[in-house]
Amino acid sequence: MSPQADFERNYFLKDIPLQIAQDKYQNHLLDIGALLKKETEIISIKDSVGRVSSQAVFAKISSPHVTTSAMDGVAIKYESSLGATETRPIKLIEGSAFLWVDTGDPVPEGFDSVIMIEDLEKYSANEIIIRNPVAPYQHVRKIAEDIAAPELLLQQGAIIRSLDLACLGAAGLSDVKVNIPPKVCFIPTGTELVKIGETPGPGQIIEFNSIFLSALVEDWGAEASVRNPVSDDPTLLEQALLHSIIDCDILVVIAGSSAGSEDFTSSVMAKLGEVIVHGVAIRPGHPVILGSVSGKPVIGMPGYPSSALTTAELFLKPIIYGFLKSNEIVPDQIKSVMGKKVASPLGEEEFLRVVVAPVNGDYIANPTTRGAAMTLSISKSDGVIKIPANSEGIEEGSTVLVTLNRQRSEVNKTLLISGSHDIALDILASELTFAESGVRLISSSVGSVGGLLALSKGYAHIAGSHLLDEETGEYNFSAVKRHMPNEKVRIYDFVGRTQGLMVQKGNPKEIKDVKDLIVKGTKFMNRQRGSGTRLLFDYLLKQSDLDPSKIIGYENEEYTHWNVAAAVSSGFVDAGMGIMAAALASDLEFIPLENERFQIVVPAKFIGSVETVDTLLKQLSTSDLRNQIASLGGYDVSLMGNVAGEVG
């Protein structure tokens, strides 16, 4: 009796529509728990490219971790330069009044500004002359200008790219926790197969499918191994399959999937496990087999290379990403609308990194932080816009071509929130991405007013705002009416939070309220114009009848609470306006000044029509999100997700 006698070939292939086949197989794998494996390991960041982060990654230290000089020159106290003119220069003595510094040197203690060497005159061996005053913090690269610990660097499930290594290293991380990749085993079949390098005889074929398929799955993040080819003998195939399934997560049988006289893959799979699909209405790749053995995915691929490639992309690739809990990164180019005006110097070809999100039928591109030393902006970017040397920049609303370094499907599931910055938004973003929905939330920190304006122009999905109406004591409603008069919106509560002054541990300046910022000569770090925090601070100054110009550093701006906290923590400034959560996270003293409502503004037209927006609104009601945010301290999450009201 021949070895084939105990095996019945499957002659009948079905033309199942592709989507139905994919859904049917996916549901089967979920039913048998084939994708539940989630083993992790800790590896060096130098070995992490292409791996998938198993948890959110936060900065360990700020970058730069100290305040440094941005130019070659001298460090001075800015007060020393006040009054200097061309006709009445000021002479400074080395040591007490200035110290020489090179680019990248820490700014010496007691000094707060740098004069470029080109802007001073050497009077003697230890004296210089300056003819112009300098501003506080001029030519100084402040602590945490790039990364403010513990800022979110990578979200859970992110595929780590070479672009991410700079910010990981700069943030003090030497290793990262990643998911262990699934092991994919290939079994080539066919009596006619010979090894690569051998000269095939009549009727023989060089076995090369396993080589390129192995490389393909490794590009997708899996580990590949190839068994010795198996002849067209069902008993040998059964033995090979049973032996291989033990130490792999996914098994792929190459060839033997059709209905010929020597095609036994379907019969062997049916005997040892289950065949869910045999035959899909695609070309090439029609006779693909989808099944399982011992609770593990098994795919029977056609032997023709183009068919094998097609079926690998359609069926094997999703399984690998299911194991890794990640999305693929595929370079692409898309036309986008520029959401912000960007200036660029003539004569220099600039490659501007941007984030991209689909809003109102267009892709909206917004620039990330610019600068040669900015590693996090590289990591967070979605792509690059090329600005020609003969251009002075890009106007808001212009059409631009973005070369993506992220998969378009990720961009399509991206939500853009514009407006005020809050640490709780980072937690929301991580929760959204890690959830099965895979929604990616990116923030454009332009202040509350800027967020409402972006929303009114169609450049964002939602806005974060905490604008106080001085007359009514109400948050956001009057501002929405003023800045979005023609838009019907719904306002949702996000968090209540405490705003106040962040000061150094022990409060050495003995600051009690905003009045002390003037009488004690405190160096201050402010938030940017248009931010709710800045407007609140100005309101408090007005209530106390204080002149902002008397506050040292009033014009010195940062765009996030983390950055303000880092400046205070480093001693670069004595105080800064921000939220309690940032002070607690940075081990700072905090003087509470005001309790406020941070709310999310959503155009009514998006609710119920934009899936990603609905997913975010649903996420607001989850206990996990509330508990994580509440644990930071300084937040009231009791109203989170409630509809505060409608406007328009």
Q: Tens digits of per-residue pLDDT, 300-351?
A: 998 888 788 888 988 999 999 888 877 555 568 999 999 999 998 776 667 7
CB 158 within 8 A of CB 52: yes
Q: What is the pLDDT of residue 281?
A: 83
What is the C-alpha to C-alpha distance for residues 576 and 596, in angstroms, rounded to an integer? 17
pLDDT per residue over 574-597, tens digit each? 999 999 999 998 999 999 999 999
When mean pLDDT is compared over 420-429, 531-540, 586-595, the highest value belongs to 586-595
Give the H or E element holding residue 591. strand 589-603
pLDDT per residue over 206-237, tens digit each? 788 888 899 989 988 899 999 988 988 889 99
Alpha-carbon distances, residue 580 vs 466, 469, 499, 566, 641 (angstroms): 15, 22, 6, 14, 21
Kindly state the tokens that stand for 388.
Answer: 């020609």
DSSP H helices in 290-401: 305-311, 317-324, 375-380
Kindly state the tokens that stand for 208.
Answer: 């090369």
How do strand 140-141 and strand 152-154 relate by DSSP bridges?
unpaired
Banded pLDDT at 12 (limits 50, 70, 90): very low
Q: What is the pLDDT of residue 444?
A: 86
Torsion of CA 338, 344, 347, 353, to 10 degrees: -60
pLDDT per residue over 173-199, tens digit each? 999 999 999 999 999 998 887 777 777
- Evaluate the CA torsion angle 546, 547, 549, 555 in order and state its sign: positive
What mean pLDDT is predicted for residues 259-268? 71
| 45-49, 280-284, 373-377: least confident range | 373-377
What mean pLDDT is predicted for residues 551-578? 91
Whole-number percent of the chain with pLDDT over 70:
94
As a whole number of angstroms, the longest Cα–Cα distance in the chain is 111
For the chain, count helices (H), then strands (E). 18, 37
Backbone angles phi, psi at 241, to 5 degrees: -70, -45
- pLDDT, mean over the chain: 88
| pLDDT at residue 261 is higher than 60 | no
Closest to 156 measured CA to CA, from 631, 636, 628: 628
Q: How far is CA 214 from the centre of its chain?
A: 29
pTM over 0.75: no
| Residues near 210 by beta carbon (within 8 Å), at least 6 away in sequence | 186, 188, 226, 254
Q: How far is CA 335 from the centre of its chain?
A: 21
| pLDDT at residue 2 is higher than 70 | no
